[in-house]
Amino acid sequence: MSQPATRLQDPGDLGRRIVERRHELHLSVAEVAERAGMAADYIEYVEHTPTDLSSAALMRLARSLEMSSAELLGGDQGRPPGGEDAGRRPLLSDLEASECAAHLSPGGLGRLVFRAAGQPVAHPVNFRMLDGDVVFRSTEGGSISEIAPDEPVSFEVDRLDAAMSEGWSVLAYGTIQRVDEPAELKKIEALGIRPWAGGTRHAYFRLGVTSLTGRRIDAFR
């Protein structure tokens, strides 16, 4: 039996989200097609032509882009994550350090957790990975600039697929340093980090990762 098509309020937005996420992950059309088990021509068609996808195709495409079906559809906009019911028999497991690193490798959006003015702060930043370390941009003279080089910080990244009642969370621990050395700056600038908040953010920082921990929740089927 064929899967029912997923109706979109604005099908053109689907193609835009695919392109934006593909660029964010630095993936080509061919690479997304290989991940999803689809033809590259079909991926290009979906990116540029408003269309309806079957539920199965939507799920495969979303997973190839390392996001949930709801995120790809934009149906979770304006809603806090985790509002749906948990799976009937959730399975919680610890992630190996190698699995944590694999989840961080594409980069994306994470939260730097540190202390500022004596209070804990969680600061969202767009990031990339460089030789096992987290790198990101921020403003000159901001609160991140005031973090001492030996001050322990953590960095949290998570993904949730509410439709599948699955998800994962990774915590990286280490210390922060401002990047000023020209050769290192050149490497980081080549990663193309684009701050989510926009604006002038010329300061680059590197979180030297000393340990990784993570957990995954799966729905029993």
What mean pLDDT value characterizes the chain? 82
- Concatenated DSSP letters of the chain: -PPPEEP-SSHHHHHHHHHHHHHHTT--HHHHHHHHT--HHHHHHHHHS---EEHHHHHHHHHHTTS-HHHHHTTTTTS-TT-SPPPSSEEEEEPPHHHHHHHHTT-EEEEEEEEETTEEEEEEEEEEEETTEEEEEE-TTSTGGGS-TT--EEEEEEEEETTTTEEEEEEEEEEEEE---HHHHHHHHTT----TT-S---EEEEEEEEEEEEEEEEE--
For 136-176, what is each residue's pLDDT tens digit? Answer: 988 877 889 899 989 999 999 988 766 566 788 999 999 99
pLDDT in tens, 59-105: 889 888 888 887 787 755 444 455 555 556 678 899 999 999 999 99
- 193-208 pLDDT, tens digit per residue, is 877 655 567 789 999 9
pLDDT bucket at 3, cuts 50 / 70 / 90: very low
State pTM to two decimals: 0.62
Map out the domains of the chain with their CATH numbers: 5-73 (1.10.260.40), 91-219 (2.30.110.10)
